[in-house]
Amino acid sequence: MKKLFRFPTLFILSFFLFSCSSSISEAVFFDTQGKLVNKDLKQLLTVTGQSHAETLDSVIAATQDKENGWLRSGERWHKQKERFTDKQRQEIVVLAKKLGYLDEKTPSKDKYDRALVLGAASVRIKSRINYLIDLWKRGIRFDKIVMLGSTRSLDAPESDVLLKPNVLEKGYEANEMGLMQYIYNNEVSLPKDMASLPVIWVKAEGKGGKRANTDDTIEEWLKRDTDLANDMTVLSVSNQPHASYQGVVIQTYLVNHEKGLNLTSEVVGEKSSLADKAKPDSQEIAVLLDAMARHLYSLKKLSLAQASV
């Protein structure tokens, strides 16, 4: 018998809705026939020059296109940074804010069984841990902390390279997991009661010659966390504009997970720096659009996973 999974936001026909915040408010992108109905998303596609047939599949195809889409990819990543005018960049930010990609995503509950911190570069790791600390100070509680790291080397970006000697000096491995351990134990100030919580350190290997992704770290966590049980709640810490698609990736993996645990998954994160910028720079816009394209694609994957349960 197949297990059922619950999620913190209501998905009607799965990919037709996405959560604009971690409250219950939602923005409708597509109707139940897959027709694009969101005027802000329509306008954003127009501003960025995406041709589509006002359907879910055509919008995904347009935003995923390697030459003219929103994804950062190869040489086109460098070209995309110079793709838009100042006016277009400002319009993109205004529309992305309306669509829920820039503002803080806050928890909907005050108690969780697990708090997951997603791996990243050192600057982002530190900000995510500090955001989790801030949530604790606001009264949000969790029983265990899970640090989702990997064997990724510290050869890039520059912020990781600069910290690599410190990581090694403290006796940690020169990889993403060791970097997370170093930052957690040396560069943030944990409240005393939070510091006493158990921490699960995850070091995921990549597959097929590629470095570990979110799926790999979630898979490794589920192997190591032997105390997981049905109906537990999971809070994942990311940041905007990445929180939306990373939350959907986690949900999708849990739907497909062979253990069939009824885990309630929710993602939170601090607001994007773009939320308050009058003049966004081109690189930030490229990162934003890339995150949005990944979110749209991930929503479809989630819908297919749910349909197969």
CB contact at 8 A, 200 and 147: yes
CB 41 within 8 A of CB 30: no
Given pLDDT bands bounded at 50, 70 and 90, which one contains residue 30?
confident
The string of pLDDT tens digits covering residues 282-301 is 889 999 999 999 999 988 88
Please state the φ and ψ torsions of residue 17, each to the nearest 5 degrees: -130, 150
Which residue has better confidence, 31 or 286?
A: 286
Q: Give the pLDDT band (50/70/90) at residue 278.
A: confident
Q: How far apart are CA 162 and CA 207, in angstroms?
A: 27
Closest CA to 29 of 248, 285, 280, 187: 248
Residue extents of the structural domains in the chain: 14-102+275-308, 111-239
**167-206 pLDDT, tens digit each:** 999 999 999 999 999 999 999 999 999 999 999 999 999 8
Residues 6+ apart with CB under 8 A from 271: 102, 103, 104, 240
CA atoms within 13 A on the CB side of 270: 16
| Burial (0-12, 13-18, 19+ Cβ within 10 Å), 8 | buried
Instruction: Return the pLDDT at 74.
Output: 56
CA 193: distance to chain centroid? 27
Dihedral (CA of 147, 197, 185, 124) sign: positive
Residue 308 has pLDDT above 90, yes or no: no
- Give 236's contacts (C-beta < 8 A, 6+ positions apart): 115, 116, 117, 118, 246, 247, 250, 265, 266, 267, 268
CA distance 99 to 70: 16
Q: Find the largest Cα–Cα distance for the chain.
A: 58
**Helix orientation angle between 243-256 and 214-224, rounded to the nearest 10 degrees:** 50
Tell the residue number behind the tokens 């898979």, with chain if given: 219
For 89, half-sphere exposure in the C-beta direction (CA atoms, 13 angstrom radius) is: 20
Cα–Cα distance measured from residue 265 to residue 251, given in angstroms and rounded to the nearest whole number: 6
Query: What is the pTM assigned to this prediction?
Result: 0.85
pLDDT in tens, 201-258: 999 998 888 889 888 999 999 999 989 888 899 999 999 999 988 998 888 888 777 5
pLDDT of residue 274: 92
CATH topology of domain 111-239: Rossmann fold (3.40.50)
pLDDT reading at 5 higher than 90: no
Q: DSSP for 218-230, please give it.
A: HHHHHHH-TT--T
Total number of residues shown for the chain: 309
Give tens-digit pLDDT for 91-110.
999 999 999 999 999 999 99
237: tokens are 């810490």
